[in-house]
Amino acid sequence: MGIFADWAPIYADAGVRVFPVNIDEEGTRPTVRGYLKAGDNTRRAWADATKFADTDALGIDLRRSGITVLDIDEPNEKLLADAMDWHGQSSFIVRSQGGNFQAYYRNNGEPRDTTKRRWPGHRIDLLGGGMTVAAPSQGHKGNYEIIVGDLEDLSDLPKLRNLPDPINDDGVEEPRDRTITTGRRNHALFTYTMRAAHNCESEPDLLAKARQYAIETFDPALPDSEVQRTVASAWGYTVRGENYASQPHTRLLNDEINTLAFDQPDAYILLSILRCNHWGRDEFLIADAMANKVVPFNVKRLRAARRYLKQHGYVVEERRPSSKYGAGLFSWPA
């Protein structure tokens, strides 16, 4: 018998909901549908099914099993020890196939957050929902191994203490729930794949990451056919050079380029710089002091470019320049 058939009843006796999964070079994928919704009878049927007799990996439905996992995403025992010193000692710890560590805790409403923004500078994920691979699953790199505790400890896990909120790119705490439900999954997956594509060498590489993200993040799961279609779309944007996700960029319409670039080059430069630095803001200044510093031309040319943008509706003057208020205040057209 395979690992799933042997261990599924044991985990069930410990009150943990499990399901069969496959682990290979492309990632981890459940081999059944509805794995986060199935009842006890369905799970028993999976354990008894002949087609899963040789399956050597099983996943845990974390939220319905009442478990949160602190996932130390690198083989660093000191980082594990430091994390538990701060968040509390876990009574059940697993070493993954890659030598990383997973410390189990009792779920206390924690979300799933794999952004690694709660512990800046450290590769730590918070798995408060979705799935994780259970020991002693066999992966393509090796086995998952229980190194602290036994299954009996899963019924009396400690709670996480001192859980930080995520830190966004501006250094601001950013609370979020990473369990994404029906209605938001396709948009979330497309956003993720567009960003992840920049760090992938091939479409299969992106597909493996997208499958893992979908498994970890969506409740209920998104069909694999949808994942494949989304990856193909994101990879198409990337290879065509049209993927600007997470990449700083300034958008100019074709008509704007054709109108300004040759006939009004100073206005073209000024508009590009304004959009680069002020797009999304309600108001901004276009000051004479920008000449020869922010734009590569003198005050006379700056004023002419500013006047042209104002007269042709590229910017809207909200307040004229004056000795009292200083430089003119502008906004973007509605």
- Domains in the chain: boundaries: 3-156, 185-239, 254-331
- Token readout for 16 is 């943990």
Neighbouring C-beta atoms of residue 118, cutoff 10 Å: 18
**pLDDT at residue 172, as a whole number:** 43
Average pLDDT, 10 consecutive residues per value, the chain (334 residues): 90 93 86 84 84 91 94 93 92 95 93 82 88 94 94 93 69 48 78 84 90 80 89 90 68 83 93 84 87 93 95 91 85 84
Name the 3-class secondary structure at 38.
coil
**pLDDT at residue 176, as a whole number:** 44
**pLDDT at residue 67, as a whole number:** 96
Cis amide linkage into residue 9, ω under 30° from 0: no
Name the 3-class secondary structure at 106.
strand
**pLDDT at residue 180, as a whole number:** 67
If you ran DSSP here, which 8-state letter would residue 188 be given? H
**pLDDT at residue 52, as a whole number:** 87
Is the distance from CB of 64 to CB of 17 less than 8 angstroms? yes
Contacts of 96 (CB under 8 A, 6+ apart): 102, 133, 139, 144
**pLDDT at residue 242, as a whole number:** 79
**pLDDT at residue 181, as a whole number:** 65
* Architecture of domain 254-331 in this structure: Orthogonal Bundle (1.10)
**pLDDT at residue 280, as a whole number:** 66
Neighbouring C-beta atoms of residue 197, cutoff 10 Å: 23
